[in-house]
Amino acid sequence: MHMTIDRKAILVLNDGTYFEGIGFGATKQVDGEVVFNTGMVGYPESMTDPSYQGQILTLTYPLIGNYGVPDPDARDKWNIPRFFESDFDEYAPNQPVELHNQHPAPKGIKITGLVIHELCKEPSHWNMKMTLDQWMKKEGIPGIEGVDTRELTKKLRVHGVMLGLLKVCEEGEDLDIDKLIKEARKVQDPNERNLVGEVSIKNPIIYENKGSIKIVLIDVGAKLNIIRNLLARNFTVIRVPYNFSAKEILEYHPDGFFITNGPGDPKHASLKSTIETTRELVEENLPLMGICYGNQIFSLAMGADTYKLKYGHRSQNQPCMDLETGRCYITTQNHGFAVDVESLQQTDLKLWFVNANDKTVEGVKHTKKKAFSVQFHPEHYPGPVDAEYLFDTYRHILETGGN
């Protein structure tokens, strides 16, 4: 029997703090923004969420990988990956899976690296196809276990998210900690890159459906369960790249449009055209629903402002209050930026949802147009399904004209 030798690994933050551990997944060195997520389950969905592009993800739940990883090739009735939140651009959903399989599978994991306390080596689940370690090796993503994730999370909560690097050594290789600390101090902020351009599709994809309502989905880093929720409500969905113009979108003669989640700073220069497109389409009275990044882009388009949160909201248990009904919803969230509540006063937007913990903006409505957005993820995956009704709200607006 082949015995594997533990590989040394280290996470180094840009202030010189470091955490040593044992490596798993790919043998390599990466860098990015170090963030944390407090969810207890759902690591395959989180790791394939495009909103994590450029980030090293710390999971605070102590045991990770205990139910393995499901089949990457499993597809639902719309031929969308059943268990992951990313697919690849070359794939047309109406083509047979056999054709899809002729293409080399690109990386589905969107995180840059993974930091955990303990990796389960012998997972057990009826739906498991591989271990977390095997999946990450296959996709070229490094991970480190044996880290005191509580101590790391406390540091990130006090300091705010930090830049850092993660290195997994070859078997028998030693760590040069002094050299890595110097390198960590020079890590570039991934939010300065065009992260949306890295994860958005390159060409339009049309998801035909039996319903008569047709919407254009602006993909700024879409989770696939958003598309699945729209298809389940009989929308025909035309998924377009983030930099499509309003003119190009209107050529499809859609009944409405949708802006998805995505990574990075919504005020990045690469998104100026997306914000302008949103403004033009709202002025055209095209009904809008936005989620997460979509909430920020919509707000910016209407004249509001955004800012970076200290350590973000990344969890499956964020309480959000509907100010119109007084009802509280438990929501899934993954964002590092938020809408400035004071800036809403200079717009035609009204505050709709607030976070019950820190009172940040969690949703807005346009007071004159049929347009709304939320900061949380009503499509869940992972997390509670409490807010999924918002997709029905959007469909009702499209069917009735908002009456």
The catalytic residue positions are 292, 377, 379
DSSP 8-state assignment for residue 319: E
Contacts 24+ apart (CB under 8 A), 324-330: 324/352, 328/356, 329/376, 329/384, 329/386, 329/387, 330/384, 330/386
Helix, strand, coil tally for the chain in percent (to 5) = 25, 30, 45
Nearest CA-CA partner of 174 in 18, 48, 9: 9
- Please write down the HEC assignment for all residues of 128-174: EEECHHHHHHHHCCEEEECCCHHHHHHHHHHHCCEEEEEEECCCCCC
Distance of CA 198 to the CA centre of its chain: 13
Residue 126 tokens, joined: 């009826």
Place of tokens 């276990």: 145
H-assigned helices in 53-109: 97-100
- Type and span of the H or E element at 43: helix 43-47
Question: Rounded CA gap, 93 and 208, in Å?
Answer: 9
C-alpha Rg value of the chain to the nearest Å: 21
Q: Are strands 55-59 and 29-37 parallel, antiparallel or unpaired?
A: parallel
Question: Helices 272-283 and 293-301 meet at what angle, rounded to 10?
Answer: 70
Rounded to whole angstroms, how far apart are CA atoms 35 and 55? 7
Question: Which of these, 63, 46, 32, 61, lies nearest to 166 by C-alpha position?
Answer: 32
Contact 68, 126 (CB under 8 A): no
The Cα-based distances of 241 to 5, 219, 236, 270, 276 in angstroms read 44, 5, 17, 12, 14
Dmax of the chain from CA atoms?
A: 69
Do β-strands 371-374 and 361-366 pair in parallel, antiparallel, or remain unpaired? antiparallel
